């Protein structure tokens, strides 16, 4: 770890760790933001003029001081807080040399180029290891660093489809609207970002606490998309039967689904025996607890159609809020189908301070909203020190502090189009 400022008291979990972030779009920036939130110093390397790819992703953009859309897209803002930005021309030899010099001052380098591109740029693991043998070099890609598809690009929905995840998502066959469906948010990207962060943490611990060496990490969206289906794949590997799409139904026992009330819909998850019993009491159908079709979780799942025929008309007599309140009182897991306005107003969400704002950021007008880290420490708090950076906002600071370049040298690089 970098301990150049060892006199400071370490108040964050990753104090002293420095990361060079060449990641783009969502998965890699998300992973490095996790580490930045934990206290690592993250230096984001971006392209001259346009910045990292996610700056162009809409549909929402923060307005600049002139009122026109800025380079602070929603995608950029969601995955780049607590980072510093430096803009470098990676296609030039001088730009490559700057990145290698910066890597020599860092603990970790993260890249998510299509495999083979880093080597063409002279920034592959071997090149970086030559200047820093102890570096943790983390590569994130669509299909991984090896294999017949390793050189192909891909995005979240591609891997939802190819991994089988999309085949399990959507309305069951035979029902209106049946067919595979993409999961709304880019969950493969986000989960791969978490895997990237976990892999980096493990490699740092091996190197710094166990006396190990630097190494390369290979994290792939395809691998992650398959891994997050482990519970469904476990059934397939045992039975050979393709799991059907469940629509609104849960993966465990029943009742666990969205049900229609008089004035809306409510998700009820009462598969466990104690919850099923409590649900029956609330609905006034206690006799179902002794019905030979529904005594266990598995049998309720097998006989879900028969159970639905009984409880759906009973649920349909309730107003959504009244049934929600009654089930909450009975401690049966349930929820209305919230849109985002309701999520922001939720009392638990507000208590946990999940939505936060930065007062300002470089190059934009107004406050910058952000979603808090889901991690809570008792001794080393998550930091929210830096808003998502403006393009090249910290170029001079990084070159002075890390490479000890003087102002004249920096201006020469800027004049020649190497940095901005």
- Determine the pLDDT at residue 266: 96
Of 1-10, 20-29, 275-284, 323-332, the least confident: 1-10
Burial (CB count <10 Å: 0-12, 13-18, 19+), residue 9: exposed
- Determine the pLDDT at residue 6: 42
Which residue is listed with tokens 């891994």? 227
- Determine the pLDDT at residue 85: 97
Please tell me which residue in 189, 223, 325, 406 is annotated as part of the active site: 189
Distance, CA of 270 to CA of 375 (rounded, Å): 28
R_g over Cα of the chain: 26
- Determine the pLDDT at residue 10: 60
Residue 248 binned pLDDT confidence (cut-offs 50, 70, 90):
confident
Q: What is the pLDDT of residues 79-119, one digit of tens each?
A: 999 999 999 999 999 999 999 999 999 999 999 999 999 99
Q: What is the pLDDT of residues 196-235, one digit of tens each?
A: 999 999 999 999 999 999 999 999 999 999 999 998 999 8
Average pLDDT, the chain: 93
- Determine the pLDDT at residue 1: 57
CATH 3.30.1540.10 placement within the chain? 256-338
- Determine the pLDDT at residue 2: 54
Over residues 383-392, mean pLDDT: 94
- Determine the pLDDT at residue 279: 96
The CATH homologous superfamily to which domain 256-338 belongs is formyl-coa transferase, domain 3 (3.30.1540.10)
Buried-exposed string 10-38: b where 16+ CB fall within 10 A, e elsewhere: eebbbbbbbbbbbbbbbbbbbbbbbbbbb
Q: What is the pLDDT of residues 167-185, one digit of tens each?
A: 999 988 888 889 999 999 9
CATH 3.40.50.10540 placement within the chain? 18-228+352-415
- Determine the pLDDT at residue 328: 95
- Determine the pLDDT at residue 343: 92
Burial (CB count <10 Å: 0-12, 13-18, 19+), residue 181: middle
Is 156 noted as a catalytic residue in this protein?
Answer: no
Could you tell me the pTM of the whole model? 0.91
For domain 18-228+352-415, give the CATH number. 3.40.50.10540
């Amino acid at each position: 770890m970098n301990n150049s400022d060892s006199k400071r008291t370490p108040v964050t979990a990753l104090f002293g760790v420095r990361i060079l972030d060449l990641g783009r779009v969502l998965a890699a920036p998300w992973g490095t933001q996790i580490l930045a939130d934990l206290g690592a110093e993250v230096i984001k390397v971006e392209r001259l003029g346009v910045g990292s790819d996610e700056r162009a992703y809409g549909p929402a953009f923060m307005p600049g001081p002139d009122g026109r859309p800025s380079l602070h897209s929603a995608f950029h803002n969601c995955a780049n807080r607590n980072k510093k930005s430096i803009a470098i021309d990676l296609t030039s030899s001088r730009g490559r040399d700057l990145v290698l010099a910066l890597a020599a001052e860092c603990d970790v380098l993260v890249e998510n180029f299509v495999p083979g591109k880093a080597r063409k740029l002279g920034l592959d693991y071997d090149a970086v290891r030559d200047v820093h043998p102890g570096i943790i070099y983390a590569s994130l890609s669509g299909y991984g660093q090896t294999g017949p598809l390793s050189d192909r690009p891909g995005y979240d929905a591609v891997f939802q489809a190819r991994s089988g995840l999309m085949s399990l998502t959507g309305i069951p066959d035979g029902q209106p609207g049946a067919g595979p469906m993409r999961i709304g948010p880019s969950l493969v990207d986000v989960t791969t970002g978490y895997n990237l962060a976990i892999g980096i943490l493990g490699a740092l611990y091996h190197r710094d606490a166990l006396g190990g060496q630097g190494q390369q990490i290979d994290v792939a969206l395809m691998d992650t998309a398959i891994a997050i289906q482990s519970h469904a794949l476990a059934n397939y590997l045992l039975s050979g039967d393709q799991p059907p799409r469940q629509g609104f139904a849960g993966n465990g026992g029943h009742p666990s689904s969205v049900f229609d009330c008089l004035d809306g819909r409510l998700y009820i998850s009462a598969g466990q025996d104690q919850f099923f019993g409590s649900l029956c009491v609330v609905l006034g159908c206690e006799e179902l607890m002794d019905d030979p079709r529904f005594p266990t979780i598995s049998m309720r799942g097998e006989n879900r159609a028969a159970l639905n025929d009984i409880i759906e008309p009973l649920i349909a007599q309730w107003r959504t809020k009244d049934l929600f309140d009654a089930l909450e009182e009975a401690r049966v897991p349930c929820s209305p189908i919230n849109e985002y306005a309701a999520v922001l107003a939720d009392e638990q969400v507000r208590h946990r301070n999940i939505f936060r704002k930065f007062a300002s950021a470089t190059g934009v007008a107004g406050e910058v909203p952000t979603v808090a880290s889901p991690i809570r420490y008792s001794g080393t708090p998550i930091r929210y020190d830096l808003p998502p950076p403006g393009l090249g906002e910290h170029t001079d600071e990084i070159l002075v502090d890390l490479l000890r370049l003087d102002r004249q040298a920096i201006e020469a690089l800027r004049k020649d189009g190497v940095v901005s």
